[in-house]
Structure formats: C-alpha cells, structure tokens
Structure 1
Amino acid sequence: MTILATVRGRAEAELLRATMALPERVQRALAGRPVVVDGQTLAPETQLMLRLQRVARIPGAETLPVVQGREAITHQAAMTGRTQPIGAVRDLSAGGVPARLYTPRGAAARSPLLVFLHGGGFIYGDLDSHDASCRVLAEAAGVRVLAVDYRLAPEHPFPAAYDDAVAAYRWVVEHAATLGADPDRLAVGGDSAGGNLAAVVAIEAARAGLPLAFQLLVYPATDNYERDTRSFALFGEGFYLTSGFMDLATESYTPDLESRRDPRASPHYADLTDLADALAPAYVATAGFDPLRDEGEAYARRLADAGVTVELKRFPDQIHGFFNIVGVGRRSRAAVDEIAAALRAGLGA
C-alpha cells in the first residue's frame, strides 16, 4: 500500500467515525428524507453511511476481481469495527483449520466457548474481517470465541467450507479442556454465510451426538437454491448487500446446481424430523432492510415447528452487515450488544 493510499484510508476512517458520532437529528438532516420500506424506517446513521458510500463512489466487492474484493471487505470492516478491547488473542490450528482464540478479561479457567464462522458469501472474509465483532462478542458475553478461517470459494467450492467448519467444531469438542472451555457450554455461531455454516454444523452435531448447547445465527443465508422472498425483492439493491453479490456467492460456492439443494449447503432443505431433542436452542437475528431477512426468519420458524427452542429477533432499522459495525455509530453497536447478551444468556455465562 502506498503512503498516499494509507493517508487516504485514515482520512476516510476518521470522516466515517466523526459522521457516525453526530447527534441523530444532525444525521437525519444530512441523510435526507427517511427511508421507509415494508413498514420499517432505516436508522438515520445507516442511511447516512450508505449515502456517503454512494457519494464517494465506493464499488461493491462483487464488482471487483476476487482478490481486490477481499481487500475491500477487510478494509471496510476495519473502518467500521475499529480496535476493540479484549483480554487475550492467539492464533492456532483447529484440526488443520486456521483459527483465532479470543479470551475475555476475567475469564474463568473453564468458561463457555463460541465457535464463530465469519460471513462474506463464502468468497470473502477472514480472521481479520470479523476481528472487532469477535472481540465484542467475547467481552460483552463473557465467553471465549474461537473464530475459524475456513477455505473460500471460488478456489474451494462446496463442500470445502462445510468440511472445514465441521472439522473445526469436532476438534474443539475433543480439545475443549486445552482451550479453557467448558465442554457442556459450547456454542456455534456466525453471520450470513457463517450463519449458514453454523446452522449446518448444529445439525451435524445433533446427528452425530456431539455436545452443543447453543446456536447463534445472525442473518443466516439458509437457501442457496431459491430466493423467492419478499425481502429479496425489496432490498436487493441500495442496502449494501445486493442481488449481484448473492448471485456471485451462490455461483462461486455451489457451481453445481444440484448442490444448491444439498442440506449441507442450504439448511432450509434439511430434514429436521426426529432431531428436536438433539438440536441446540437457537437465537436467530435478522435485519429489517436485508435481502436475507425472510429466509432467516423462515428457518427460525422451521426450527420452532420441529420443536427446537428458538428466539427470533428482527432489528427493523438495520441492514445486512450491521454485525461488523461495532466501532462507529450507536444503533448497530447496540444491536450487537443485544446479540451478545443473548449469547451470554444462552450459555449461562
């Protein structure tokens, strides 16, 4: 990176921080007329952030070559996440899968642990893109968090990400003691594509008899085959996550059409019969202005209909990606803090 690019990046980050810290009434004036869709009003700070993105002509990651798109995603995450406090961090290998362990300040010798799988459409994201969010979850929920750096498409299409996620979770079960984790209070979670992987890991854990106390699904992508939903039609353009991004993700991760209906790729098609007693309780969070909203909520209903204990929470003023906005603004961070509280309660931390 050149010195000019570094200076420009810092200037962008400071402008975003300052803008997101403005009083809400000022943000409203700068953002323009309220955006109201499907009976929901977009958060003023989010509306203003999207407006700044359009004015700056920042391209979507899906419009760039894959490598550049990955760099853009990590750069955006750094600007919106900023540096968050944490007790300790160390990188390790979870059965051959790169991972990062976050230990909150004051953690007990044996505490709950969340295996976290990052989002990014199975193409983007890594340990750095979700570093800030994992730190916030660990500290706010009082649990250890093990983030997993699974293989990405298109270099590694389905079932690579699934295989890595399951392998990492099995390793955690076998090595809970060395991680300082309570084997009776293990959770799996993730956002977007990571929510997809968390859901299918939870299903595999139930079938294999692996211990799992909780699943945390943040706007999960649950149907890679058919997205004929109202939210997909309403929010596929103009609200950060685009239909083009999702098309690229689907084509890259599941190039074979038949694989898109495979329950390991689309938990929407999983047979949950007879798994109710084994599936872990779930907390499903969705965003009001998210194309994935309806499929995430439909999956929550499927779990509930199967007899699984489920809490479904929609954050009506948020967009896809709010989980990474923990270092600027107020409303997105408040939503993530609420998710962390649900994780704390679910694991008895």
Structure 2
Amino acid sequence: MPVDESLEPLLALLNSPGVPKMSDGTPELARLNFRRFTVDARQPEALVPVASVEDMTVDGADGVSLPGRVYRPDGAGTGNPVPTVVFFHGGGFVIGDIDTHDDQCRWICREVGAVVLSVGYRLAPESPWPGPVEDALAAVRWAAAHVAELGGDAARLAVAGDSAGGNLAAVVAQDCRDASGPALAAQLLIYPATDFADVYPSMSENAEGYFLTAADMVWFSANYLPSDADPADPRLSPLRGRLDGLPPAVVVTAGYDPLRDAGEAYASALEAAGVPVTAHRFDGLIHGFFGLPAMSPASEKAVRTTCASLRDLLV
C-alpha cells in the first residue's frame, strides 16, 4: 500500500533541500524547528474543542515541578466520573512539549471522554535516561493522588504516549505493576519506541523520506542514552521486561515508520504474556500521524479508531 496521498505534500516539503535535518543540528535548534512545524503552523480554529483546558504544575522526580496541562471533556466533575489518562508527548526524549502535542491530547479527551493530563517531563541531553522515566513515574503517582481534583476517576487511570512518550507509558506500566501501584486500567502506546537493543527490518525499509529517519533515531539515542546505559534494560527497552500482569493495551503502528516492527513486536509479546491487546497498523500512514488529522483525512480516521479502542477499555 502506498503512502496515503493526503500526506504527500507534507513529505515533499519535509524532504525538500531547504529543510534542515534534525540530526544535523543541536537539540535547541531541533526544538525550535519542531515548534515552528507544530505550534507556529497551527490554526487555532482547527484545534479540537474540549470543555476546558487548564495549565498547572505536576510533581516530577527529585522534587522538581513539571509543566502540566489538563483537558476536561463535557461532563467531567459533575458527579459522573470519567476516565483519567496521563499522556507523555513524543520527540525522541529530546524535543517536544505540552504545546507541540496539544491537539493530540484534545483528540483523546474528546473521543475517549476522559480527563487528559499532559506532562512536560524533562528532556535529554540535559536530563538523560533514566531522568524522563523517573519524571513520568512521579507524574503518574501525582495524578493518582490528585485524580479527584483533576475531575477524573481513580478506578480508570490510564497511561498514554506517542513515540518516546509511548516508551515512557510502557515503562511506567511495568513500574506501576512492580511497585504495587498506582493501579492502571489501560495503556495506549502510539508508535512506541520499545527496544533499543535490536535492529528491525522497518528501520531500514523506512530509513529515509517518511519524517522520522534512521539518522534521527541515532541522534535521539546519542542524546538520550548515557555511555554506560544497557540498551536491554527494561526501563529503557520495555520489550525486554516481564510483561505478564500488565494492564490491557492499545498498540498503534504506522506502515511507513521505522518504529513499526518494534512496536508490533511489543504488541505480540504482550499478547503472548496474557495481556489483552488491541493492535492497529495503519498501512498508509507515517510516524507522527496522530498529530496530522487537520491535514490528512486518513490520519483523522486512524486517530478516531485509536481513541475508540481506548474508550472501549475504559468503559
């Protein structure tokens, strides 16, 4: 199946000679360019409407306060509890923030009917692994302790994330099980990075031309991983961890994504360990499609399908 035609203009722009390659620059420049591509290019009227949006601070690791943003759907806080989803943004652990992934959280809030707490964990290289993992775990514990004031339901607490954020969500799900809580009802892993210890065919098949490149992944890893990190550590590569007893999962991959095969390997491993899994591969889409519904009907359809699967787990 070819790349969906709605994505061809975007890919033509990203692959044009005048667009700087992320892996050729500094983290600061990459963050600036990513915000230009996402936040600055966004039409405010195109944002998905939700009942309310509130900025706040969330407890991270080591007593650090992290930026957070809570999205509430219609009906939240009216005596009719709704699910709570803690969301971790993508960006290779180096770029991205709660602004770049604003619309992704709005989609989940509206389509799932959940309170969504987006967490701005600290980024590498300033905070390399396991810093973002520790921030993510602290944020989920904070959310569980404050779920009532967020307007959600403690019995239906889920984690979610895309790409690097999907990695964090998967690692947090394992940590919560091993550390006896907080109990999680579900996990949504959107084209997650699940294994730093192996090379998969999709990494070469989709190495160039589809937004996320092989060079980008090497650059992200170089910034995120300390020199003494073990790529097979489960808190870095959740595919290498013990998978039984984890909450039900929705695992989403894209056909033209270097991370496709590792994500699907994680879905298969979860299922083999007895974890209920809903797996979706969207063949004509690329890494990052969850942020592209405004320009791509196929991406919008995939986002709706994904959210419906999470909603089914949180009924």
Q: Same fold (TM over 0.5)?
A: yes
Query: Cα RMSD over matched residues?
Result: 1.5
Q: Deviations over 1:39-86 (max 9, x none)?
A: x32101112321133347222333222112101112212336753312
Q: 2:197: which partner in 1?
A: 225
Q: How does 1:7-156 map to 2 (within 5 A)?
A: 40-55=1-16, 57-78=18-39, 79=41, 82-95=46-59, 96-109=65-78, 110-156=81-127
- 1:318 pairs with 2:285: yes
Instruction: Report the Cα offset of residue 183 of structure 1.
Output: 0.6
1:282 and 1:163 mapped to 2: Cα distance? Answer: 21
Q: 1:16: which partner in 2?
A: none
How many residue pairs get aligned? The number is: 304
State percent identity of aligned pairs: 42
- Which residues of structure 1 form unaligned runs of 5+? 1-39
Q: Deviations over 1:289-330 (max 9, x none)?
A: 000000000011111111111111100000001011122221
Instruction: Report the Cα offset of residue 230 of structure 1.
Output: 1.1
Q: 1:8: which partner in 2?
A: none
Greater share of helix:
1
- 1:268 pairs with 2:220: no
1:306 and 1:213 mapped to 2: Cα distance? Answer: 17
Q: Which has the larger radius of gyration?
A: 1
- SS of equivalent residue, structure 1 residue 259: coil
Does the CA-based 8 Å contact 1:132-1:326 persist in structure 2?
A: no
- SS of equivalent residue, structure 2 residue 253: strand
Q: Deviations over 1:233-278 (max 9, x none)?
A: 1001111100111001111111325332211111011123xx32xx
Counterpart of 1:250 (choices 205, 221, 224) is 221
Counterpart of 1:297 (choices 252, 264, 268) is 264
- SS of equivalent residue, structure 2 residue 229: helix
2:42 and 2:251 mapped to 1: Cα distance? Answer: 23
Does the CA-based 8 Å contact 1:84-1:327 persist in structure 2?
A: no
Q: Deviations over 1:202-245 (max 9, x none)?
A: 1111112221000000000011232x211011001111100111
Q: 2:207: which partner in 1?
A: 236
- Which residues of structure 2 form unaligned runs of 5+? 60-64
Does the CA-based 8 Å contact 1:61-1:70 persist in structure 2?
A: no
1:235 and 1:154 mapped to 2: Cα distance? Answer: 26
2:297 and 2:86 mapped to 1: Cα distance? Answer: 26
Q: Which amino acid aligns with 1:218?
A: I
- SS of equivalent residue, structure 1 residue 260: coil
Does the CA-based 8 Å contact 2:76-2:152 persist in structure 1?
A: no
Structure 1, 331-340 or 46-55: larger mean CA deviation = 46-55
Does the CA-based 8 Å contact 2:15-2:209 persist in structure 1?
A: no
Does the CA-based 8 Å contact 2:231-2:237 persist in structure 1?
A: yes
Q: 1:10: which partner in 2?
A: none
1:177 and 1:287, CA in 2 relative to 1: closer, same or farther beyond 3 A? same
1:190 and 1:133 mapped to 2: Cα distance? Answer: 10
2:73 and 2:21 mapped to 1: Cα distance? Answer: 34
